[in-house]
Chain A
Amino acid sequence: MELYEGGCELKLLETLEGHSDRVWSLAWNPVTAAAGTPLVFASCSGDKTVRIWENTPSHSASWTCKAVLEDTHTRTVRSCAWSPSGKLLATASFDATTAIWENVGGDYECVSTLEGHENEVKSVSWNASGTLLATCGRDKSVWIWELQPGNEFECVSVLQGHTQDVKMVQWHPSTDVLFSCSYDNTIKVWAGDDDDWQCVQTLGEPNSGHSSTVWALSFNASGDKMVTCSDDLTLKIWETDNIQMHSGDGYAPWRHLCTLTGYHDRSIFSVHWSSEGIIASGAADDAIRFFVENRDGLVDGPTYKLLLKKEKAHDMDINSIQWSSGEKRLLASASDDGTIKIWELASL
C-alpha cells in the first residue's frame, strides 16, 4: 500500500471532554460520512451516561456533544453499538440491562430495555443485517436477541460455555456467526440453525490461543481474518476459509495464523482492523500502535509489522480504539482519563 512508503504520523485533531468518569467504549455511526452527512459517534462511560458527538461540517476539526443519554442506566455503561441502519443505538451496562435508543428528531429516546443477564453486561453487538443483537457479561453467558416490529426484542438463545466473565461479543461482518472472548482465555465461535445455537469452535491455548484474558476481537474487511488482543501482551491473527464460509454450509473453522509478540508490555484492551487493513491497538500503557501486513518476502504466510507507535496518546489506560468508516483515516480513542481523542493517520 502506497501510504506507508513515505512514512506516516498520527495527528491529534481534537481532545473531547465531557464525561465525568472513565470512557469505556465508543462506536461510530456506520451510516454517517457515507452520504456526506457529518460524522457521528457515541461514547459511553463510568459516569452512567452515553454521549453522542457530531462533527460540525464547517470546521473539520470541531466536534460537539449533541446529546447526553442519561437517567436510564443506573451504573457504568460499558459498551455501545449502532445498528447497521444507524437508527438504533444499543448500550450495555453494569446495571445488568441493555438499553435500545432511537434518534427521534435529534432527541434520543430509550425505546426498549433488555433484561436477563444476572449481572454486569460487558458488550453488545449487532449482526450485519441488524436483525440480531448479542450481549455478554460477567455471568459467563452470551445472549442472542431478535429484533421484532415495534423495537421489541425476543430472546432467541442463552448460550453457556465460557467458564469466566465474557468480555466482548462480535458478529462476523457478513455471516450470522457470533464470536465471543473471555477472561477464561478463549474465543468461542457460535453458529445457529434456526433457534438452535451451539458453540462450534473454541480457540484456546491448544490451538495456539491466548494464555490470559482475551479482551477484544476485530475482523478485517473481507471477514476471512480476525485479530484478537489479550492480557498476555500479544495480538493474534486468525484466518478462515472464506469460500467455505459463504457456501451456505454455515460455518468454516478458524486457525491461528500468527502472533505479534514483543510489541506491547502492558495489557491490550482494544483492537480494531480498518477497512484498508491497518490494525490499531489501544493498551494499558497509554499508547496506540498500528500494524500492517508485511509484504516483503512472504515466508510461511503473511506476517505483520509495526507501522507506528504513539506513546502517551492518553494520560491513562486506553479502553477503546475505533476507526471511523469514511474516506479519511480517522480514529477515536477512549481512556480511563475521561477523554476521547480524535486522530488522523496521515502520510508524511
Chain B
Amino acid sequence: MEDIFESSLHLEETHFEEGYSDGYKHGLVIGKEEAQQVGLRVGFEAGEELGFYRGCIEVWNFAIRVDQTRFSDRIQKMIKQMEELVEKYPVFDPESESVQELMEALRLKFRAISATLGMKLEYNGYPKMGQDPKEMGF
C-alpha cells in the first residue's frame, strides 16, 4: 500500500529541490544576460583601443608618405611592427590566449613611438601599465 504520508514526510526536501531548480533556471538566464553585458563592454573596450592604434598608425603612415625624411628608419620600423601587431590581433577569437599578450605589446610599442616622437598623446581607456589587473575595479 502506498504511503499516503510519503509526500508530506519529504516536504522539506521537495521544497528545497523545487527552489533549487527555480533558482538554477533563473540563474542561467541572468548569468547569460550579465555575460552578454560584460562581453559587450570588454569587446567594445578592446575594439576602441585597437581602433585608436589603427588610427594613429594611419596618420603616421600618411605623414611618412608626405615627408619620409622626417622619420628615422627606427621609427618607421616600429610603426610597421605596430601595424603587424594590430593585424595579428584575433578580433573574432576573444578566447585566444594571445589577446592579452598582443594588447600589451601594442601598448608598449605605442609608448615607445610616442616617447620618441615627443607626443604626449595617451589612450585613456586602458589601465596604466604599472597597475595590477586585479586592482582594476569594474
Contact = CB atoms under 8 A, between A and B. Distances in A.
A156 interface: yes
A293 interface: no
Contacts of B75: 154
Contacts of A146: 74
B112 A116 contact: yes
Contacts of B120: 115
A194 to B, nearest CB: 9
A138 B131 CA distance: 11
A156 B74 contact: yes
Contact of A140 (B112, B118, B130): B130
A155 B72 CA distance: 11
A154 B116 contact: yes
A116 B115 contact: yes
Given A116-B111, A148-B72, A155 B129 contact: no
B99 to A, nearest CB: 17
Contacts of A109: none
B94 to A, nearest CB: 23
A316 interface: no
Interface in B119-138: 120, 128-130
B64 interface: no
B115 A155 contact: yes
A195 B113 CA distance: 13
Nearest to B110: A158
B108 interface: yes
Contacts of A140: 129-130
Interface in B22-67: none
A114 B130 CA distance: 19
Lowest 5 A-B CB distances belong to which pairs? Answer: A116-B115, A139-B130, A155-B112, A155-B116, A155-B115
